[in-house]
Amino acid sequence: MTVMVENTKVEEGNGPAKIETFDDILPYVGEASRYQWFLFILLLPFTFVYAFLYFAQFFLTLVPAEHWCMIPELNHYNFTDFEKIAIGIPPATNEELKLESVTSFSRCYMYDVNYTELLEQGVRQANLSWPIVRCKQGWTFNHTMITYASIATELEWVCDKTFLGSAAQSAFFVGSIIGGLIFGYIADHYGRIPALVSCNAVGFFASIATAFCNSFWSFCVARLIVGSSFDNCFNVLFIIVIEYVGPKYRTLVANMSFGIYFAAAASLLPWIAYWIADWRILSVVTAFPMIVAFLGPWLVPESARWYIMSGNIDKAIGMLKKFAKVNGKEVKQEVFEAFEKSCKNIIEKDQSHNQYTVLHLFKLPRLARITVMLVIYWLLIILVFDGHVWNMKLLHPDVFTSFSIASLTELPAAILLALFLDRWGRRWMGFASMFICGVFSLIAIGTPVGTLTVTMAILARLGVNIAANIGFQYAAEMLPTVVRAQGVSLIHIIGYIAHIVGPYVIYLADVNQNLPLIVLGLLSFFDAFLTLALPETLDQDLPETLQEGNDFGIDQSFWWIPCISSTPKLKKSLRKKKKEGMTNAAFHHGSIQTIDCTRL
C-alpha cells in the first residue's frame, strides 16, 4: 500500500509559516508517518468491536428453518426424526407453503390425537383426516446446519413469536439512538477519550450481561444497552484517526482501513459463532475486543481539535509535538506560534457556524429539496443494506458461509471506490452501484433456490456496500460548510430509523416468499434514479454559505460524467479544486466542527 509514504514536501524556511487551519500544521508534524501507522493499526480492534456489535445479534438469534412440534409421547420410542414427523406432523399448510425456505411438513402444527393409544395399536403413519392443532409442547429443531441453540431457539421464538427476534434487534438500534445522544454529549463536554472508553465499557458489560438473559424482556434491555455503544465505540476513534492523517491520504486511509478490517471482522464472525456453538459464550467472546478501549487513555491520542474547541490550545500543541517527536520531525517553535495565533480564528470561525441549526437546511427551497433527497437516499441505502443482511437468514442452505462471503464483499467495494470514485464521480457510480444491486436482487428471485440465489444476493450486497460508502461522503460534500455537521448528523440519525425497520423486511416473506427481494430490488432502483437527481460533487468547490448550497450544481447537465466530458466552466472549477488538492469533505474539516458520521 502506498498510503503512508512519507511526505517530505514541506516548505520550510521561506518566511513565516502560513498556518490557517488545523490541516496546515499536519505536514510539519508528519501527516502520514510512524504515528499515523500506529493509529491505522489501532483501528483494527475497534473495527472488530464495530462489526461484532453490528452483527453478533444475528447469530445470537439464529433459528434453524427446519423445526417442528415436539411430541413427548414419541420420545419413549426409538424413532428417528423422520419417523416422528411421519406420524405426528401434518404437511405444510397452504399458508406455510408461501413462507420462506419451505419445509414439506408443517412447522407450527401437529396432529391432535392420543399418540400413546395409536402407537400401541401399531400405527406408524399419520392419517390426513386427523384433527390438527398448534404445537402444544414446544418445538424440535434440526441442528444439522446451525449446530447450536441460540436464545431464539431456547425461548422458541418461532411461529407466532418469530417477530421477537426482530423486535430485539430493533431494541438494539433504539439503544444506539439514545447512546448517540449520551456519548455525543460526553464527547463534546468531557473529551473524545472519555467518550470512547465509557462507550466501550458500557458495551462490554452489557454484552456480558446478555449472556445471563433468560427472557425476551431481559434480552431486549441488555441489547438496548449494548446498542447504546454501537457506532460511537468505533466512530469516535475513527474520526480522531482521520483528523490526524493528512488530507491527501484521508480517503484512502478511511476506505482501506474500514474495508480491510471490517471485511475481516464480519467474515470471521460467522465462524466464531460456528465454532463456539453457544450463544452465551458467543456474547461474551464478541465483547472481548472492547477491552482494548480500557487502555484507551494510554494508547489513543486525544483529539487536538477537541482541545482547541474547549480552549486548551496548549494541550493541542503538546499533542502535536508528541506527533512530531514520534514521527521524527524537527519543528521550529515559530510554526507552533503561528498555529497558536490562528487557533483563535479557527475558534471564531467555528462559533460563527454555531448559530446555524438543522432548520437552516430547510430555509432555501433547492437546498431543502437536496437535503430531503439526501435523507431518503441514505435511508434507502441502509434499509437495503440491512434488508440484505437479515435476508441471509432466509438464504439457506448454509448461512455461515453465505454471511461470511457477503461480508468479504466489503473489501472489493473499498478497492473499487479507491480506484474509481474520484474518476467517475459520486453520481454515476452511486447510480451504477444501486442499479446493480437492484438487478441482482431481482435476478436472485428468478434463480433456483440454493447456491445461485446466494451468489446473486451477494453480488447485490456488493452493490449496496459501494453505494453506502459513497453515500457516506456524498452528503458531506454537498451540504454547505455552515450547516454541514448538522446536516450530516441529521441524516445519520434518520439512518437509525432505517436500522430499526430493517429487520422486519424479511417478514414480507410471510406475504410472499419473493417479496423481500422484490422490495429490496425496487427500492434499489428507486434509490439509483434518486442519485441521478442529485448534483455531482466530484471536482466541485465545496459550498460554503447557505446560498451556495442552494445553488450547488444548478448548472450541471444531466448527462455530465466527470471522466468523459466537462464544460469549460466545470473545467475551471476543476482546476481550482486540483490546486487545493482536496477532494473529500467527509474527511476534511475546514473548521473544528467534526462531522459526526460513519458508515452504516
Q: How far is CA 14 from the centre of its chain?
A: 46
Cα separation of 502 and 389, whole Å? Answer: 9
CB of 150 vs ligand NAG, minimal distance in Å: 16
Residues 6+ apart with CB under 8 A from 313: 307, 340, 343
Radius of gyration of the CA atoms of the chain, in A: 27
Phi, psi for 109 (deg, rounded to 5):
-125, 155
In angstroms, give the least distance from the CB of 105 to ligand NAG.
8
Q: How far apart are CA 84 and CA 70, in angstroms?
A: 9
Q: Which is nearer to ligand NAG, 80 or 94 (CB)?
A: 80
Give dist(CA 552, CA 546) in Å, integer.
10
Verify cis geometry, omega within 30 degrees of 0, for the bond prior to 397. yes
CB of 117 to ligand NAG, least distance (A): 4
Q: Which is nearer to ligand NAG, 119 or 276 (CB)?
A: 119
* Residue 418 beta carbon to ligand NAG: minimum distance, rounded to whole angstroms: 40
The answer to whether the beta carbons of residues 156 and 138 sit under 8 Å apart is: yes
In sequence order, the 6+-apart residues with CB closer than 8 A to the CB of 195 are 183, 184, 186, 187, 232, 236
H/E stretch holding 109 reads strand 109-111
Residue linked to cell 430547510: 362
Q: CB of 265 within 8 A of CB of 52?
A: yes
CB nearer to ligand NAG: give 194 or 397: 397
Shorter beta-carbon distance to ligand NAG: residue 19 or 113: 113
Cβ at position 148, least distance to ligand NAG in Å = 15
Look at the block and give the residue holding cell 476534511. Answer: 588
| 86 vs 368, beta carbon nearer ligand NAG | 86
Q: Is 351 helix (H, G, I), strand (E, B) or coil?
A: helix
Shortest reach from residue 402's CB to ligand NAG, in Å = 14
| Residues with Cβ within 8 Å of residue 315, at least 6 apart in sequence | 302, 307
In the complex, least distance from residue 539 CB atom to ligand NAG, rounded to whole angstroms: 53
Contacts of 563 (CB under 8 A, 6+ apart): 423, 424, 425
Please compute, for residue 155, the number of CA atoms within 13 A of its CA located in the half-sphere on the CB side: 21
For residue 69, the minimal CB distance to ligand NAG (Å) is 13
Nearest distance from C-beta of residue 66 to ligand NAG, angstroms: 5
**Considering beta carbons, is residue 116 or 547 the nearer one to ligand NAG?**
116
2 or 78, CB closer to ligand NAG?
A: 78
Q: How far apart are CA 405 and CA 400, in angstroms?
A: 9
Q: How far is the CB of 76 from ligand NAG (least distance, A)?
A: 11
- Closest to ligand NAG by CB, 84 vs 599, is 84
Residue 146 DSSP symbol: S
By beta-carbon proximity to ligand NAG, the closer residue of 104 and 333 is 104
Residue pointed to by grid coordinates 521524527:
328
- What gap in Å lies between CA 496 and CA 181, rounded to an integer? 12
Give dist(CA 74, CA 80) in Å, integer. 10
Binding residues (CB under 6 A) for ligand NAG: these are 66, 78, 81-82, 114, 116-117, 142, 144-145
Provide the minimum distance between the beta carbon of 152 and ligand NAG in the complex, in angstroms, as a whole number.
Answer: 18
Nearer to ligand NAG, 453 or 598 (CB): 453
Minimum CB distance to ligand NAG smaller for 118 or for 456:
118
Nearest Cα residue to 108 out of 32, 176, 160, 49:
160
